[in-house]
Structure formats: C-alpha cells, structure tokens
Structure 1
C-alpha cells in the first residue's frame, strides 16, 4: 500500500497535464506510423499481450510512454503509461504525456514487477478509449 499515494499523484498529474497535440485520426488504426515502433519488434515480448494488446511506442518517450494499445483488429483501444515507482518516489514527474485518443471511458492502474523494456517495478496506467476496449484487449 506504500505506493498508493504515488499512484494517486501519478493519476492526478496525468489528468491535469495538457495532452500533447497530435493527429488523432492517424493513431486510430495500427500501425500508427513514425515515430512509433512495435514493441514486440524491439523487445522479447509477444506481439499481442493479453490485457494490453499489440503495443507501439515512440522510443524517445520511454519509460513512461505513451504505449498505444491496439486490439486484434488493429483498432486503438487504450493508451498505456509505465511509470517506474522508484523514479516517482525520487520526485520524477511525467508531465504533458500524449494520449492516443481524447475519448477515455475508463482507467485501470496496477503494479508490475518489471518486464523487458521497463525492467524496474512500475505502475501501469491504462486509459481505455471505449466501453468495449478492455474486453477486446483481454484475449
């Protein structure tokens, strides 16, 4: 429970930060184009990760992202941030993070012990872009 205040701060910062401008239309379908790369092409991860989908990220925005999450049909379903807990505890702020879509129907936040690409313990902050997105990314 020690990281709950940190997660609350993270969500507050994400909600308060202005979204970086982008052409939302170009991100609706995979692949999103440059500067995004498919995470599974760059790291030893599966192409489709149950619960997150097929991920694309601009390497310049690591570790936080955004990671654009697409379902099996290539539809943008979520924007995911991966914020290392140690960096948050040390005062790092992730301001002005972009989003894949300005429509957000729900948010999940959960702990991850680390994986290729973001090796340290971190929080996944997942912004779902429509009511069915979580289900489409589940399997």
Structure 2
C-alpha cells in the first residue's frame, strides 16, 4: 500500500505542473455548470460528504476526476482526484487532469477502500484551495 500511495503522490507531482484549469471564476460557486453533474444526483451518496463536501464531476473524466468540492455555502474549496491503485500499479498515467482553481494551499493524499462511483481501492488526492477549506469541508 505504501508503494501505491507513493505512486499517487508521484502522479500528483507529475501532473500538477501540466494540469489544465478551466476559467477559475466560472467554478468558484456551485453549481459549476455543464459538463459537471452533482455526484449525489448520479450515485447513492449524500449531497454533502464530510471531509469532501458537495462534489461535482464531469462524467467523461471518471474515475480520476477532477471532482470539484464545494462547502456548505457553495464555495469551491478543493479539487479531488480518485486514482485507482491497481491502475497506478499497472503503470497507468492520469495525464492533464483539470483543476478547479490555480490556488492550492494544501494537499492531502490518502487511501480509500472504495465507494459508489469508484468501487475499487484508490487514492484520494485533495488539493485545498484556501487556508480554511479543509475545516469547511470537514463538517
């Protein structure tokens, strides 16, 4: 598992400099508009997931995302990637991943055993866009 998380961290480092961002202002407030859909409208998940917030994703970018994570006030707080560990272990790259905002104030990478939408074990790579984002998404 350490190798998988290291691969996920390497993936983030390799793609963060070439990530394609959309117009930051268009994504600042939920809902972000097409092609994004609210994850809870498509999957059996709560509208607000503690630790991740209210998620929107372009279905064409699954499973990696980006998932745009909004706080209770609809403010873009994080961009989340969900990268399947088996795919990473088998050498798959997730290149040119989009980002919700160019501002990144912190990054978390952690293991998830699977959930609706990304059923297989995967790494969550979370880019927090401002100092208070992690706290606003926590509850």
TM tier, smaller: over 0.9
Unaligned runs of 5+ in 1: none
Q: TM-score, normalised by structure 1?
A: 0.94
Q: CA RMSD in A?
A: 1.0
The Cα shift of 1:20 comes to 1.1
The Cα shift of 1:21 comes to 3.9
Q: Which stretch shows the higher mean deviation, 12-21 or 30-39?
A: 12-21
Count of residues in Structure 1 that have an aligned counterpart in Structure 2: 137
CA contact (8 A) 2:4 2:89 kept: yes
In the TM superposition, structure 1's runs of 4+ consecutive aligned residues that sit over 6 Å from their partners are none
Residue aligning to 1:49: 49
The Cα shift of 1:25 comes to 0.6
Residue aligning to 1:6: 4
Unaligned runs of 5+ in 2: none
Residue aligning to 1:88: 88
Q: TM-score, normalised by structure 2?
A: 0.94
CA distance in 1, matches of 2:69, 2:83: 16
